[in-house]
Amino acid sequence: MATTHGDLILTRGDPQRDRSLQRQAAAGKLRRVGDGIYAVCNGRPVEEIVCGGWAPILARYAPGAVLRGRTALQRNPWRERGPDGRVVFPGWVFATDPHGKARRRLSLPGLEIRTFPGPGPLEGDMSFLGVYLPSDARALLENLQASRARSGPSRTVGREGVEREVERLLKTAHEDGLREIRQRAECIAGSLGAEQELQVLLDIIGTILGTRKAGLVARDVAARRRPDDPYDPECMERLKVLAMTLGRVAPDLADPHVGPGERDCTSFVEAYFTNYIEGTRFLVDKARRIVFEHEPADGRPQDGRDVTQTFAQVASIVPGEARASSVDEFMAEIRERNARLLDARPDKKPGEFKEDANSAGNTVFVLPDLVKGTLREGFAMLRDLQAPFARGVFAHTLIVLVHPFNDGNGRTARIMMTKELVGGGKSRIVVPTIYRSDYIGGLRALTAPGAAQAAPLVRAMLRCQSVTARIASPDLDETLRLWASTHAFLEDEKNARFTDPNVNVDIVWRRGIPAPASYWQELDLTAQLQDDVTGLIPLEHQVV
């Protein structure tokens, strides 16, 4: 008989079935990749198919095997990165074979398996497709064992790799999780013959938890754990990339909003969009009445307060605004601004640095105990930047990457950017709703693992500043009309794009949203065409 795993077929000693598979392989429908192992020819690279089926292949080769070494940390085959940064084949699987008497190796297209004699599954190990995934404690202990690279990667990641993995686990499992891992390691070390490795692991965990003072060999981990303001070196590397990119651009767009009327109108638009990006959303006219007429926010007093407090801060910034002369002044200022911004949300502990880790999607921001040290190192870089545009974008990104507060980080960051720009006599940067994805995409490019790029973020900021500098009016109606001509208030990125302001464009309001009349006409035409097509389809074939 044979078992099928996606595009992989493994035989189980049925001669008739084997002959059938051999005939299909001869006809080109299958590819024989190993003894009793066939891949379905469907256009996918055979290496990808085989590597993806590592678990059933390992289970067939060494039933009950337990992943170990660097494979155990990933719970997947380990793959090297090529010169372009992409992972390449083969994938390497290291495992303990509880029934094996000696080391064995299996080489297949896209997959290299190495097994070693040793103990089978222990308490905490988890069954997976006929093999076992080790507990975190076992994976860490076994990765501290010595190994050498022989015609491939070394089996284990060594002490440096374990220090980084323990720190990663602190982010995901937190302190209680690390303590549980430590307790389990103490229980299973004897079964693994890893008593010496246990002492090393206890030193690492204790140092990262702050209960011991053993030396750390991974320089990046040691930097994050230094007793004097530890910092996040990964964040600093991203800021370095940004600073180097900013050093190559120096836009000179003077602030056109120096008059009280122009400043108030642009500050309202800025406050509206910076809150909209974060999910605090009102229709434009409603936000206008909240800010200028003090109208209640219809059961949303906290959201209304967010908008008015943002407006109050950005509207009060004027040319010549004094810069923080020290990191302590900088930290005091961002704390004070965050406290004012969120004064209606005491549950968010406004103005206080976070005590728990925060994240957005797959991005985990700087850990709480690294906030002050990272802000300190980042401020030293900020102090060396001279151009207001560079200072503004850098200060903004420093706060966004560190995320020092429980809430309001993005808004606080953009307020500080406005302060650097307007204080330096340059046009502020307003990021409208229609351009949110480009802005967020720029930040994601900067935080991409292993390949940080600052150019997308800088381009997005330059684009927003260019448009902002071209819209300056003391009349709010005219200001809103010009911003609407750029499609700024739309979320429909499929049918609209961020354009230059145009005084000759007719603006139409629908459902409280202003946009060019041509946009609404295109939308109506598309809807009409869809209705016409639907009318041509027989009723019995229409999808309801």
pLDDT digits (tens, 9 = 90+) for 81-111: 887 778 899 999 999 999 999 999 999 999 9
Q: Which domain holds residue 98?
A: 1-121
Q: Does 274 carry a binding-site annotation?
A: no
* Confidence tier at 461 by pLDDT (50, 70, 90): very high
Q: Has residue 544 got a pLDDT over 50? A: no
Q: Are residues 117 and 237 in the same domain?
A: no
Q: What is the mean pLDDT of residues 511-534?
A: 86
Give the count of domains, the chain: 2
- For 390-422, letters b (16+ CB in 10 Å) and e give bbbbbbbbbbbbbbbbbbbbbbbbbbbbbbbbb
**Residue 542: per-residue pLDDT:** 45
537 occurs within a structural domain: no
**Residue 537: per-residue pLDDT:** 52
Q: Are residues 319 and 459 in the same domain?
A: yes
* Confidence tier at 13 by pLDDT (50, 70, 90): low
Q: What is the mean pLDDT of residues 230-256?
A: 90
168 occurs within a structural domain: no
* Confidence tier at 458 by pLDDT (50, 70, 90): very high
* Confidence tier at 531 by pLDDT (50, 70, 90): low
pLDDT digits (tens, 9 = 90+) for 334-390: 999 999 999 999 999 999 999 998 888 777 799 898 999 999 999 999 998 999 999
Q: What is the mean pLDDT of residues 184-188?
A: 96
Neighbour-count burial of 302, counting CB atoms closer than 10 A to its CB (0-12 exposed, 13-18 middle, 19+ buried): middle
**Residue 230: per-residue pLDDT:** 85
Parallel/antiparallel/unpaired status of strands 91-97 and 66-67: antiparallel
**Residue 534: per-residue pLDDT:** 55
**Residue 543: per-residue pLDDT:** 43
Q: Does 412 carry a binding-site annotation?
A: yes
Phi, psi of 72 (to 5 degrees): -65, -35
Q: Does 411 carry a binding-site annotation?
A: yes
* Confidence tier at 191 by pLDDT (50, 70, 90): very high
538 occurs within a structural domain: no
Domain boundary at 84, 100, 121, which?
Answer: 121
Q: For residue 360, give the 3-state DSSP assignment.
A: strand
146 occurs within a structural domain: no
Q: Are residues 248 and 117 in the same domain?
A: no
Q: What is the mean pLDDT of residues 408-430?
A: 97
Q: Has residue 312 got a pLDDT over 90? A: yes
Catalytic entry in 294, 403, 487, 541: 403
Q: Are residues 264 and 409 in the same domain?
A: yes
Helix (H), strand (E), coil (C) string for 163-228: HHHHHHHHHHHHHHHHHHHHHHHHHHHHHHCCHHHHHHHHHHHHHHHCCCCCCCCCHHHHHHCCCC
Contacts of 174 (CB under 8 A, 6+ apart): 357
Q: Are residues 312 and 437 in the same domain?
A: yes
Domain boundary at 96, 121, 146, which?
Answer: 121
**Residue 14: per-residue pLDDT:** 66
CA pair distance 151, 82, nearest whole angstrom:
17
Q: What is the mean pLDDT of residues 216-225?
A: 80
* Confidence tier at 533 by pLDDT (50, 70, 90): low
Instruction: Judge whether 403 counts as a catalytic residue.
Output: yes
CATH code: domain of residue 430: 1.10.3290.10
Domain boundary at 99, 121, 143, which?
Answer: 121
Of 174-183, 416-425, 428-437, the poorest mean pLDDT is in 174-183
246 occurs within a structural domain: yes
Q: Does 193 carry a binding-site annotation?
A: no
312 occurs within a structural domain: yes
506 occurs within a structural domain: yes
Q: Are residues 300 and 443 in the same domain?
A: yes
214 occurs within a structural domain: no
Q: Does 413 carry a binding-site annotation?
A: yes
Q: Does 373 carry a binding-site annotation?
A: no
